[in-house]
Chains A and B, each alone.
Chain A
Amino acid sequence: MKPAIQFNSVNYSIDGHPILRNISGAFYDGEITTLVGPSGAGKTTLLKLCNGLLSPKDGDITIGNLNINDYDPVELRRTVGMALQSAPMIDGSVHKNLALPLELQGKRLPDIQARDLLNDVGLSEDFLQRTSKELSGGQRQKVSIARTLVNRPQILLLDEITSSLDQVSQKEIEELIVKINRKYGVTIVWITHNLKQALNVGAYTWVMMAGEIVETGESELLESPSNERVRQFVKGELGWGSLH
């Protein structure tokens, strides 16, 4: 299997506090990898390193044979798209938010394309002219996903994009992401607190704890983890009981 993103002993710290420790491994090309772990484990930090919002203190991240530091940051961020955990919106309409990635390049987003994007994430066209301040948490997440897709990234990093969604919407988004993965071969890394989701959508799963990777492999590892801490984590997570 070809790695899309390869980590080699990556460390990251803030003011001397280690946040990520000795991360090695790969997100495979064209596959969906889910990233799970308790709050504060360093999942968001790891994705921000891949999108160039942060840079590793030491160790190497390689994307397609090129060290991440050798990329032009703008080009890297368009190729490796990220939907941020807080789904931030700029002031103005939903249309303006969807058009933002193109506007930054001095281009316009055609109305048809904007409507298609909303359709993809399960929002009606009426939303185009609504202001972003009126959106609910779940609607913001949907707009945020759609907006991330505008750049047509080859690698897609999703940070808890369904945490505020109801069951039906969650399913819709899962199907959309799987479709994008199958149809365009986009590599996807998906942070989720929902272990059922991690198992359902991901071919591979990384379990992170306290800045370290404690288990990686095919997502089924979640059903019978070898690591004791992971077993505890899996048992404790809500929703896990109903899986069995």
Chain B
Amino acid sequence: MGIIALIFSLIFVLIPIVLSKTLNLGLEKDTMIAVIRSIIQLFIVGYILKFVFDAESIIYIFLMVAVMIIAATLNARKKGAAIKGITWKIAVTLIFIEVLTQSILLGFNITPHTAQYIIPISGMMVGNGMVLAILFLNRFIAETEAHQDKAELILSLGGTPKQAVHIQLMTSIKASMIPTIESQKTIGLVQLPGMMSGQIIAGASPVQAVQFQLLVLFLLLTTASITSVMLGFLSYPTLFNKRMQLARSK
């Protein structure tokens, strides 16, 4: 696709802006910001990737992945501001996921040991881990607030902090994993997964694209479960103090 084609593709930006203007939706400014940001960000990423792929240096791969993890952490931590030390908890979780998935992929030679594979897959894992972290934290904070009386009851009867939040923790872990599992049940029936579509458009054989997509889906299952479970078990102790009291009682 050439530059001329890309310029024509801006028609698809004009349509929502015109609609927003005629219907007074007031979304013109946000749409423009979104368009400009995506153009700048993706081009920067594109050139950086080209540079990293050409350089063939492990250091750049490390740097790229580190930047991804930092960005994902900073984004997700806003949802967990109520939990002490949430930043490093999310970071540790994402690093763990990255190390685990890449060790298996590279260790068993499932994917080639090149930046071209490592970086996009890492991006998908870290990005998905971030979404899962946000889903989990939203739910967990809501659950613990809604069931504070039950947590206090269990503490008052001589239960431990872990027992006091066990149900809330399990509910939140489960709830945050469900979208990942459910979306995989209908995958391909309505909409082709974005990555698979991309590969097919770029000329890969559909069967090869499917194989690769399956690998990614399985990886996402691991990411989803590890993010929720690990973040959950790192987070719940901060809701209590050393005397096994609800920490809100400052």
Contact = CB atoms under 8 A, between A and B. Distances in A.
A91 B153 CA distance: 12
Q: Which 6 A-B pairs have the closest CB atoms?
A: A88-B149, A78-B158, A73-B244, A104-B159, A77-B158, A88-B153
Interface in A42-78: 51-55, 69, 73-75, 77-78
A174 to B, nearest CB: 22
A39 interface: no
Given A69-B243, A77-B156, 9 more contacts: A51-B156, A52-B244, A53-B156, A55-B245, A74-B159, A77-B158, A82-B156, A84-B156, A88-B153
A104 B154 contact: yes
Interface string B129-164: 000000000000000000001101111111110010
B249 A101 contact: no
A95 interface: no
Nearest to A45: B249
B243 A74 contact: no
B153 to A, nearest CB: 4
Interface in B218-250: 243-246, 249-250
Interface string A81-122: 110101010110000000011001100000000000000000
Contacts of B163: 104
Interface residues of A, number: 27
A170 interface: no
Nearest to B156: A82
Q: Range of interface residues on chain B?
A: 10 to 19
Nearest to B153: A88
A90 B153 contact: yes
A22 to B, nearest CB: 20
B54 to A, nearest CB: 57
A53 B158 contact: no
Given A86-B149, A88-B153, A54 B245 contact: yes
A231 to B, nearest CB: 34
B250 A14 contact: yes
A151 interface: yes
A55 B246 CA distance: 11
Interface string A137-155: 0000000000110010000
A147 B157 contact: yes
Nearest to A54: B249
Nearest to B240: A73
A15 interface: yes
Given A55-B243, A55-B245, A101 B158 contact: yes
A73 to B, nearest CB: 4
A74 B244 contact: yes
Contacts of A91: 167
A158 to B, nearest CB: 12
A77 B244 CA distance: 11
B200 to A, nearest CB: 48
Given A74-B160, A74-B244, A104-B163, A53 B149 contact: no
Contacts of A52: 243-245
A100 B243 contact: no
B149 to A, nearest CB: 4
Contact of B157 (A55, A69, A104): A104
Contacts of B250: 14-15
Contacts of A88: 149-150, 152-153
A75 B157 CA distance: 10
A100 B245 contact: no
A69 B244 CA distance: 12
